[in-house]
Chains A and B, each alone.
Chain A
Amino acid sequence: MLSLSNVSSHYGDLQALRDVTLEVDSNQIVSIVGSNGAGKTTLINTISGVLPSSGGTITFQGKRVEKEPPHRIVNDGLVQVPEGRLLFPYMTVLENLELGAYGERARNELSRSLEAVFGYFPKLEDRRKQLAGTLSGGEQQMLAIGRGLMAKPQLLMLDEPSLGLSPLIVKEVFETIKKIREEGITILLIEQNVLQSLMISDRGYVLENGSVVLEGAGTDLLTDPRVKEAYLGI
């Protein structure tokens, strides 16, 4: 569904991504893990069109998207739930969700999507009139994911959804991600929490200094000592 081929990107003359090649097939959960500064967020922002790429191709559902503006990529069905949530703090839960369905395609199905999201996250329905900035960390993450779902994604990319959350909530988040995949949505997961993410993934890629250094089936990577090495330098 999504394939990157030799994608590079630069910040000025700093090379942030080097020849990244990866594939996400339909209905898979694919994880990209790596320590800080490895380039995970740069990668996801390049896919979303927020950052320009300086080389390589990005193909989504057969269409070349590396030169498209961000709003069109979203409309094509490639949606990102950004790192740190980035909610609209002074708007209500409901407004945040409605904005998720801004794109034309999504807007037509707004009420149905809303129902579905409240199905995943009943707590959000209780708090729909609350300002997003006043929610707890876990609730904010739920809202961010919900907002992403409102855009009717074919592929949902989540950037560090476990960041800053307590272990119990993290478990909930990963359960939700599995549920979303069961509904037919493909998932690309960027995470520092190697264990939880690789456990639910079909495939994983390890990113270090902007390059893919390791790839394989989720379960295989879990037992690969090189993953631990990449993190702990031993």
Chain B
Amino acid sequence: MFEIILQLIINGLLLGGIYALLSIGLTMIFGVLEVVNFAHGEFLMISMYMTFWLFHLFGLDPYVSLVIIIPVFFGFGMLVERAIIKPLLNDPPLNQIFTTIGLGLVFQNLALLLFKADFRAIKTSYSNANLFLGELIVNVPRLIAFVIAIALIVALLLFLKKTFTGKAIRALAQQRQASMLMGINVNKTYSIAFGIGIACVGAAGAILMPLFFVFPTVGSMFVLIAFVVVILGGYNSLGGSLVAGLMIGVIEGFSGFFISPHLKEVVYFIMFIFILIFRPTGLFGRR
């Protein structure tokens, strides 16, 4: 019994790392621009497809393709911010919500058009490789995904803490008016923050691909998890997203095992609604 629990914890944590990376992008976007990116899942889907095709057309290992995907998605994010998000920043919530939903719809169905509804997967030489720690099995792709996710998150947190641009982003999230008076170029900083958020999603997609399938609506599955993580962690706390991501990974594993694999989502959705109602600032959120 004990081994089972430990195994569940390990699997949960490993997956949770990816959830954390996915969600941190969402938290950044919401914390700095105060926009909820309903199309977040579709960016993940695009990244997974890109990883898939890079692998199939050029034989590029998914973890290696990170080198391409991260900058590409950063640029992609900045572009979307300039073109679509920026005009929305002062609009009523209805406009913001439906614009990003519309964007998600467009992406999702373009994918459907181009790639059809087939499930696609990647098979690498180490797809089924496992490490053995005593009785415990650690799946290699999961482990690599976890390590990369944590590394990227730590890098991001360091960036925000130590660099001027990072501090500007944090400042903007805390006090918009004063940021303008510091000589911070607010528009540019918004673009960068959004770009970083999307880059995180891109990275999450790349490391997720070896573990899962891609199909046009895969984004919808994961985006809801991301929202739960963001709210649980605290919608303006990046550290909170990290912790919450790991927690949700573990909770999901336990629910899947002890209750039912089909109902594991129900557990965290119900948590989600409860948190929104009773403690909207989550575990680590402020205000």
Report if A and B associate in a common complex: yes
B120 CB within 8 Å of chain A:
no
Q: A86-B175, A90-B174 are in contact. Are A102 and B181 (CB under 8 A)?
A: no
B171 at interface, CB cutoff 8 A: yes
A191 to chain B, nearest CB (A): 18
Q: Are A99 and B182 in contact (CB under 8 A)?
A: yes
Chain A residue contacts of B184, Cβ below 8 A? 71, 99, 102
Q: Which residues between 70 and 86 of chain A lie within 8 Å of chain B, taking CB atoms?
A: 70-71, 74-75, 79-80, 82, 86
Tell me whether B180 and A50 are in contact (CB under 8 A): yes
CB of B168 within 8 A of chain A?
yes
Chain B residues whose C-beta falls within 8 Å of the C-beta of A75 in the assembled complex:
183
B181 near A98: Cβ-Cβ < 8 Å: no
The residue on A at minimum CB distance from B188 is A71
Minimum CB–CB distance from B167 to chain A (whole Å) comes to: 6
- The one of B167, B168, B177 in contact with A82, judged by C-beta atoms closer than 8 angstroms, is B177
Identify which of A70, A87, A89, A147 contacts B180 (C-beta below 8 A).
Answer: A70
User: How far apart are the CA atoms of A100 and B184 in the complex, in Å?
Assistant: 9
A147 partner residues in chain B, CB cutoff 8 A: 182
Contact residues of B between 159 and 196, Cβ < 8 Å to A: 164, 167-168, 170-171, 174-175, 177-178, 180-186
Set of chain B residues within 8 Å of A70, measured between Cβ atoms = 180-181, 183, 186
B180, B183, B286: most-surrounded residue (chain A CB, <10 A): B183
Q: Once the chains bind, are B177 and A86 in contact (CB under 8 Å)?
A: yes
Closest Cβ of chain A to B249, distance in Å, is 27
Quick check: A71 and B170 within 8 Å, CB to CB?
no
Are the CB atoms of B186 and A71 closer together than 8 Å?
A: yes
Out of B164, B167, B171, B181, name the residue touching A74 (CB < 8 Å): B181
Q: A50-B180, A95-B167 are in contact. Are A88 and B174 (CB under 8 A)?
A: yes
Q: How far is the CA of A156 from the CA of B180 in the complex (A)?
A: 15
Whether B167 pairs with A71 at a CB distance below 8 angstroms is no
Given contacts A71-B186, A86-B175, contact A91 B181 (CB under 8 A): no
Chain B residues near A87: list those with CB within 8 A. 175, 178
Tell me whether A107 is interfacial, beta carbon within 8 Å. Answer: yes
Interface centre among B168, B174, B175, B185 (most CB of A within 10 A): B175
B183 touches A71 (CB 8 A): yes
Docked pose: A28 CA to B145 CA in angstroms: 62
Contact between A102 and B168 (Cβ–Cβ < 8 Å)? yes
Cβ-based interface call for A69 (8 A): yes
Distance (whole angstroms) from the CB of B23 to the closest CB of chain A:
20
On chain B, the residues within 8 Å of A151 by CB distance are: 182-183
Question: Please, which residue of chain A has its CB at the minimum distance from the CB of B172?
Answer: A88
Question: Is A211 in contact with chain B by the CB < 8 A criterion?
Answer: no
In the bound complex, do residue B174 and residue A71 qualify as a contact, i.e. CB atoms below 8 Å apart?
Answer: no
Docked Cα-Cα span, A50 to B186, in Å, equals: 11
Quick one: CB contact mask for B196-231 with A, threshold 8 Å, 1 for yes?
A: 000000000000000000000000000000000000
- How far is the CB of A140 from the nearest CB of chain B, in Å? 12
Q: Which residue from B174, B177, B185 sits with its C-beta under 8 Å from A89?
A: B174
Pick from B164, B178, B180, B186: contact of A88, CB below 8 A.
Answer: B178
Q: Of the candidates A69, A90, A95, which one forms a contact with B185 in the assembled complex, judged by CB atoms under 8 Å apart?
A: A69
A56 interface residue (CB < 8 Å to B): no
Complex CA gap A71/B178 in Å reads: 11
Q: Does A137 contact B (CB under 8 A)?
A: no
Is A88 a contact of B181 with CB atoms below 8 Å? no
A103 close to chain B: CB less than 8 A: yes
The answer to whether A117 has its CB under 8 Å from any CB of chain B is no
> With an 8 A cutoff between CB atoms, is A16 at the interface?
no
A91 CA to B162 CA in the complex, in Å? 12
Pair B182/A102 contact, Cβ less than 8 Å: yes
Nearest Cβ in chain B — how far from A91, in angstroms? 7
Find out whether the CB atom of B185 lies under 8 angstroms from the CB atom of A88: no
B164/A91 in contact, CB under 8 A: no
Question: What are the 6 tightest A-B residue pairs by CB atom distance, in nearest-first order?
Answer: A103-B183, A74-B183, A86-B178, A70-B180, A71-B185, A71-B183
Q: A70-B186, A74-B183, A106-B183 are in contact. List 6 more A-B contacts (CB 8 A).
A: A75-B183, A86-B178, A89-B175, A98-B167, A99-B168, A99-B182
Task: List residues of chain A with CB under 8 Å of any chain B CB.
Answer: 48-50, 69-71, 74-75, 79-80, 82, 86-91, 95, 98-100, 102-103, 106-107, 147, 151
Residues of B within 8 A of A (CB): 164, 167-168, 170-171, 174-175, 177-178, 180-186, 286
| Contact sample, A vs B, 5 pairs, CB 8 Å cutoff | A70-B183, A86-B177, A87-B178, A88-B174, A88-B175
